[in-house]
Amino acid sequence: MAGGITKKLHLRRFRPFKPGKESIQSEHSLIGGPGFSRVVYCNNKESQEALTYGNNYVRSTKYTLASFFPKSLFEQFRRAANTYFLIIAILTFTPLSPSSPVSAVLPLALVVVAAMVKEAIEDWRRKMQDIEVNNRKVEVHRGEGVFDNAKWMNLQVGDIVRVEKDEFFPADLILLSSSYEEAICYVETMNLDGETNLKLKQALDATSKLHKDSGFQNFKAVIKSEDPNANLYSYIGSLQLEEQQYPLTPQQLLLRESKLRNTDFIYGVVIFTGHDTKVMQNSTAPPSKRSKIERRMDKIVYFLFFILVLISFIGSIFFGISTREDLENGTMKRWYLRPDDTTIFYDPSRAPVAAILSFLTFLMLYSYVIPISLYITLEIVKLIQCTFINQDLHMYYEETDKPARTRTSNLNEELGQVDTILSDKTGTLTCNSMEFIKCSIAGTAYGRGVTEVERALSRREGLPSAKEVTNGEGQVENSTTAAIKGFNFFDERITHGNWVNEPHADVIQKFLLLLAICHTAVPEVDEETGRISYEAESPDEAAFVIAARELGFEFYERTQSSILLHELDPVSGWKVQRSYKLLNILEFSSSRKRMSVIVRNMEGKLLILCKGADSVMFERLTKNGREFEEQTQEHINDYANAGLRTLVLAYRELDEEEYNKFNEEFTEAKNSVSADHEEMMEEVAEKIEKDLILLGATAVEDKLQNGVPECIDKLAQAGIKIWVLTGDKMETAINIGFACCLLRQGMKQIVISSETPKIKALEKVGDNSAIAVAFKANVLQQILEAKESLTTLRKSSKALALIIDGKSLSCALEDDVKGLFLELALGCASVICCRCSPKQKALVTRLIKVGIGNTIQQLVMEQTML
């Protein structure tokens, strides 16, 4: 959306109720409450019309027809040069002017009109985009189960809509049902948060059976909702249906501007419209964008104006002196001016006044020291550049059919002044297309594939490039291309059912079972071929389920309460059908860094199956479940060095009493509508995800995007500094850095790590306060030592790379340390921040923007003084 997305909370003032609806107002006041004053009457227009919430029309333009002229004029005269020329133009209408007013007014008018026309054209383009969006069509329930097409802008709160696959949601909706029996759907939120991973949403059981041909005729419900706010990741509300109250969470919320993917259709009820939607709450008005060059030109204008005033001042002083001396001693020095019979401009008896008036004349006479033609030229050049950018075939992205589009031409010159690029890894440097390539089970490493990072490592060390692997029969298998999307695994020891002959076949069986069950994927069967594919929330999940299928555990059906598999029976060697009752799903989050499911197998045993990052999983293992910990940790480190993403897998059996107690607390937390809903659920999950037994670890590869190494190399040659902020381990990030040319041969690496012997010794003692103090002192010492060596390294003309892990970064971003950290980082050509949380990524970005801005400003001031 125009103006970009910012985390800015906007509180909406609700409009007053319509008169004559006292009963509904009374009900509204009773069921609302502080922060929960929005009430939505689903499928009930008469009741909903009494609550006059806004319509679904949105406007992202900078101007309206009435405000264009005054606002645009204000924008033009924010420029120092235009204000100066305006003053000069006004002065040319006085008798002081040495030239015709046309000579000053016409160029100024051309500059202002050209800029205003450019602004009008750009805002018209925004208007056209708004018209296109507001006039999109969506199916709306008109009553008696009949759905009809309506424009987005005509949607009202409480409307029931049907959204088809690959369509955008027209407003903020509560999911009622979908084409899946489980009432789930997949949503792409790239337009909101830049994430390419699909988000899984699921409707309430109470509404999951509602469909076009049944249910909507008599469907009436009341939603009590939180007020409109800018938080994209939280939602609290409740749905009242047939005297029953059901809690609503972000799991049921579908946001405007996100897209329905991998789901044929959904039904939803509109709860927020237009500028009340979360995406619009996060949108700011189109700002008045001014480039650094334009701001610098203002400073140059001030400097030239100072020179102009100085020249005019000196000239007026000499003119005053000469005028005063014109009639001295009865002689007329400048007789041609007739000082004995002249106007005030040359009157020797009023020389000071003549000097002041001549000062103004000099200002107009020398006004062309500030070239107005330069501004006209710049505006014309910018418009032409925009045309070239919009028609540049090299900037057209064929996969999504998206050309380059300039929203404003004011920032064209910024493209050539990029100093630092901050990038994520997944989906930016890499394709976000995962392939299962290796695994560690029961302390044994499986998988003979070779990764891109390993091939880059071979090239760096001058070894023959590893491109091929050989299977047990001596046949060559190519590991660079996966025959099955998501599965690039080669190891004859466990493929084709051979795992049953391995020493720890029982552990391998549990490992593959966990891969087949611990997920939120949905199977889809191709009716022609019978082949099963999976729609998953993330590429990682899809790769795990595909790997389980290829190794003998085929997930083929999901219901709301069960998961069905075709399993390879290790005794008979045949595939058998088994059903697992799905009891609870403890979802993955960036704070939890793990996901669990609780199931009951056909023998009646309760199992918790858990997968997550090694940093949180190893600490949750029971003493008797660490048999393979050392070997698994070694393999994880090897996988990290090979640039692979790893997850640790573990499980345990639950007894009935423990599960019943957990389920009671979990249900209570899940049904809570309090503000700390998420924290309550995490607390309960923490109690059950413990005393686990280690099974092993997975390793998937996310290949680099085509041309990434070449692109980064070109950027480095242009002197652009590149920062990569990633959640990967340090070893993984370093090796990927070499694979994509972020780190290069001969580049000196400065590593700031939390894994120092001193810190490890303190961690064993367990004194948290001492650890925190010592840790910060240790990080500060590493930064100071790196700064001291920075000057020496620069003299050797070596490019520098800074690598810092997440724990150290948390200290480096503190107020008393971040200045030193920034100074060190700005002296390096490449910076890699490992194990970064989303919050740390935001803080680093803010620090760099402010730091670079201050540095540039300081350089400009130094250059101006010189």
Instruction: Return the active site residues.
Output: 424
491 within 8 A of 445, measured Cβ to Cβ: no
Cα distance from N-terminal residue to C-terminal residue, the chain: 43
Q: For the residues of 272-303, what is the DSSP string, one character each?
A: E-GGGSHHHHTBPPPP----HHHHHHHHHHHH
Q: Is the dihedral of CA 76, 79, 83, 86 positive or negative?
A: negative
Q: How far apart are CA 608 and CA 604, in angstroms?
A: 13
Q: For the residues of 154-174, what is the DSSP string, one character each?
A: G--TT-EEEEETTPBPSSEEE
Q: How far apart are CA 340 and CA 348, in angstroms?
A: 8
Q: Is the dihedral of CA 407, 411, 415, 420 positive or negative?
A: negative
Q: How far apart are CA 716 and CA 418, in angstroms?
A: 12
Which residues, listed in sequence order, are joined to residue 38 by a DSSP beta bridge? Answer: 225
Tokens linked to 139: 């199916």
Tokens linked to 167: 């369509």
Nearest to residue 147, comparing CAs of 239, 222, 207, 211? 211
| CA-based max dimension of the chain | 133
Q: How far apart are CA 846 and CA 35, in angstroms?
A: 31
Identity of residue 415: L
What lies within 8 Å, CB to CB, of 702 at 6+ separation is 426, 430, 431, 432, 433, 434, 435, 539, 645
In the chain, how many H helices and how many E strands?
24, 31
**Strand (E) positions, 297-388?**
none
DSSP H/E element including 794: helix 768-795
Phi (first) and psi of residue 658, to 5 degrees: -65, -45
Q: What angle do CA 85, 91, 96 make, to 5 degrees?
A: 135
What lies within 8 Å, CB to CB, of 835 at 6+ separation is 727, 728, 729, 730, 805, 806, 807, 809
- Label the pairing between strands 198-202 and 221-225: unpaired
